[in-house]
Amino acid sequence: MAVKPPRIAVLASGRGSNFRALAEAAAKKDLGSAEIVGLLSNKKSAPALEIAKEFGVPNFLVESKKFRTGKVLDRAAFDSEIRNTLMGLKPDWICLAGYMLLLGPELVKSFSNRIVNIHPSLLPKFKGLDAQQQALDAGERETGCTVHLVNEELDDGPTVLQSRIRILPEDTVNTLSERLLPVEHRTYVEAMRLLCTTPFQIVAGRVLFAGKGYVEDRAE
């Protein structure tokens, strides 16, 4: 029996360069037979929505601001809308690509170990916002990015793949982020290729791929 192509949905709030990398990889069949079946954004102004149009990926807008009273988000109602939209896409994988909101526990539970995130640090170091600045402030000599499965905690969950880069003495947050971004793109593509094509187990907080040892660690 033919294996069905894995279906990937992407959630993005902004620029969308990681989404673009995934869309390009899918178009070139670099993710095996996987297809990107939808891009969902919580922000109307997100350039990621335009990238979706460019690649012919169906795009969906669930505006978080419509679920806010003042600064307070009606998490249950918003997540339920996100969940319904995602359910309609029948995704095997949900990729967070610069999605700037936390996913509520119910949403995470609905897609257990099928939500993937990329974070610009070597987790567990420097969770949360401004991870590159956090690495600089801590005087680190290297940093990197982590692709991981999402659990209910912020920037937590089993590691799929990490890549590292050196921090140069003259680096600013801008130069460091700029050098890290293409590494993020390659790491996310490689992680999704593995997840879509290779059987895996989760062992001791890491995604262990068949025949691969475990987390690949490439120095740039």
Q: Could you say which residues in the range 136-195 bind ligand GRF, by CB under 6 A?
A: 145, 184
Cβ proximity to ligand GRF, 69 vs 142, nearer residue: 142
Let me know if 85 is exposed, middle or buried by CB neighbors in 10 A (0-12, 13-18, 19+): middle
Catalytic pick from 119, 164, 185, 206?
A: 119
**Which residues touch 135 (CB under 8 Å, ≥6 apart)?**
121, 125, 126, 143, 167, 176
The residue at minimum Cβ distance from ligand GRF is: 98
Residues 89-108, one symbol each (x = binds ligand GRF by CB under 6 A, - = not), give --------xx----------
Query: Is residue 43 involved in binding ligand GRF (CB under 6 A)?
Result: no
Q: How far is the CB of 1 from ligand GRF (least distance, A)?
A: 36
Main-chain dihedrals φ then ψ at residue 94, nearest 5 degrees: -120, 120
Give the total of residues touching ligand GRF (CB under 6 A): 13
CA-CA distance, 148 to 209, in Å (whole number)? 13
Contacting ligand GRF (CB under 6 A), which of 118, 123, 176, 194? 118
Minimal distance in Å, beta carbon 206 to ligand GRF? 19
Helices (H) and strands (E) in the chain, counts: 6, 13
CB of 136 to ligand GRF, least distance (A): 15
E strand or H helix that includes residue 7:
strand 7-12
Positive or negative: CA dihedral 186, 189, 191, 194 = negative
Least distance (Å) from ligand GRF to the CB of residue 88?
A: 23
Residue closer to ligand GRF (CB basis): 12 or 73 = 12
Q: Would you state the structure tokens that stand for residue 99, as one six-digit string? A: 């999605």
- Respond yes or no: is residue 185 known to be catalytic: no
Catalytic residues: 119
